[in-house]
Structure 1
Amino acid sequence: MRLCTSVGGGSGCGLSAAYAGAVTPRAGQETEQRADAVRNRARILRIAREQLAAGDRSLQLNAIARLAGVGVGTVYRHFPNRHALVEALSEERFRELIAEAQAAVAAEDPLAGLRRLLRFALDRMLDDPDFAAVLESAGDVRSQASGMGAELDQAVTGLLDRARLTGAIRNDVDAEDVRRLLCGVQHAVRSGGGAHRDLYLGVPLESLRPPRCGTVGRLATAPLSCSKADNSAAGIRVFSRNTRRPAVSPPLADT
């Protein structure tokens, strides 16, 4: 059965035309609403950046809504809390950090690349406390920055894998551990008023190295071995981790 007919050389269906006529205005309205939402979001971010540039880090959403000329509800639909707004403002810095991590993976010396990456990240965190908070929460799947956090972790994982192949990094450390260590360094440097930056950064870098077999009690004339028998034969005193008593005694002198 034919539902549509051709009239005067034209083609179409009265039902389809009526249906199309009903949908088109609605589709146009939705497109305009999306465009309004994009403009409102951009305006909110612009005002927030201006507040930060003026030295106001409070980022009160009600005040931003008033300055942006939008309703408070509009602001909260885009950014349900201050941290969500900070995440959006930190996106550019986060992208820069990801790019730096990817460049470190391609570096000839992976350990040197890791050092540069950690210094780069620490400088950005010290310069912007809000970015430090975003980086610290990036591992949370509920975070808006979780996608960028996953990109960063992927690059850092590749960097650690390359460093492990050279024996420079211990096997039980992953990208999340590195991020937590870095956040700890940032807190330590900030609490110390910015002093000892290089010292504090050097501590986790040293801790990433493979564990040693023990602590040499006196200057050794032979390399430290993981074998107690080898160390004893060489006369190397190796202290245990739990006590300062020698775990291996030097060989007795011939009488």
Structure 2
Amino acid sequence: MLEGVTPRAGQGTELRADAVRNRARILRIAREQLAAGDTSLQLNAIARLAGVGVGTVYRHFPNRHALVEALSAERFRELIAEAQAAVAADDPRVGLHRLLRFALDRMLDDPDFAAVLESAADASAQTSDMRAELDQAVTGLLDRARLSGAIRDGVEAEDVRRLLCGVHHAVRSGGGARRDLYLDVLLEGLRPPR
């Protein structure tokens, strides 16, 4: 299956060559818009700039969130790789701290990526697959951390993601200078009760 392509009912997994080119052009224009400071990602405007019909854009990306997910795929893969590296760290608590810092930095740098991580539902199967892969790595890390006595029982990968989203919100709402403190508070809260 092509990267970032979600087959729809009655549609095969392969896109025609012109559809692949159109999708790539739409993503390129969307990235250019973001780089130019236009975060609205209005699908009609992107269609016009890409030189394709509005229907073409909506066939690939039925809404802004679906487009944002596609644009965030590379960052998601980076986060998965960092989570897998954290699992392999000698000290799982150090690995978890490094992973949380990495994820928070990417979320602060890219609010659309943060929105994808915070979202309760995914627009594409690719995002759902990446979320499952991330959760699997984080679950492995949490299991190692629990065995070493560094993490309390009952904390799951989804809990860590939600808590990190809370730290992200706190930092974005004016606590930028307190980012490290907030991360430390989160990590301390994950420890077993004394």
TM-score by length of 2: 0.89
Match of 1:16 in 2: none
| Residues 68, 112 of structure 2: 8 Å contact kept | yes
1:140 to 121, 126, 130: 121
Task: Give structure 2 stretches of 5+ with no counterpart.
Answer: 1-11
Q: Deviations over 1:139-182 (max 9, x none)?
A: 53655411100000000000000011111100110000000000
- Whole-Å separation in 2 of the counterparts to 1:87 and 1:47: 15
Are 1:108 and 2:93 counterparts? no
Q: Deviations over 1:115-156 (max 9, x none)?
A: 00000000000000000000112x536554111000000000
Q: What percent of counterpart residues are identical? A: 86
C-alpha change, 1:205 and 1:143, in structure 2 (3 Å) is farther
C-alpha change, 1:156 and 1:67, in structure 2 (3 Å) is same
Match of 1:215 in 2: none
| Residues 92, 144 of structure 2: 8 Å contact kept | yes
Are 1:192 and 2:174 counterparts? yes
User: How far off its partner does 1:55 sit?
Assistant: 0.6
Match of 2:157 in 1: 175
The within-5 A match list for 1:1-255 is: 34-137=16-119, 140=121, 143-144=124-125, 145-192=127-174, 194-212=176-194
Higher alpha-carbon Rg? 1
- Whole-Å separation in 1 of the counterparts to 2:93 and 2:52: 49
SS across alignment from 2:16: helix
User: How far off its partner does 1:201 sit?
Assistant: 1.1
| Residues 118, 162 of structure 2: 8 Å contact kept | yes
C-alpha change, 1:131 and 1:141, in structure 2 (3 Å) is closer
More helix by share: 2
Question: What RMSD, in angstroms, separates the aligned Cα atoms of the two structures?
Answer: 1.6
TM-score by length of 1: 0.68
SS across alignment from 2:171: helix
SS across alignment from 1:95: helix
- Whole-Å separation in 1 of the counterparts to 2:23 and 2:15: 12
How many pairs align? 181
- Whole-Å separation in 2 of the counterparts to 1:57 and 1:51: 7
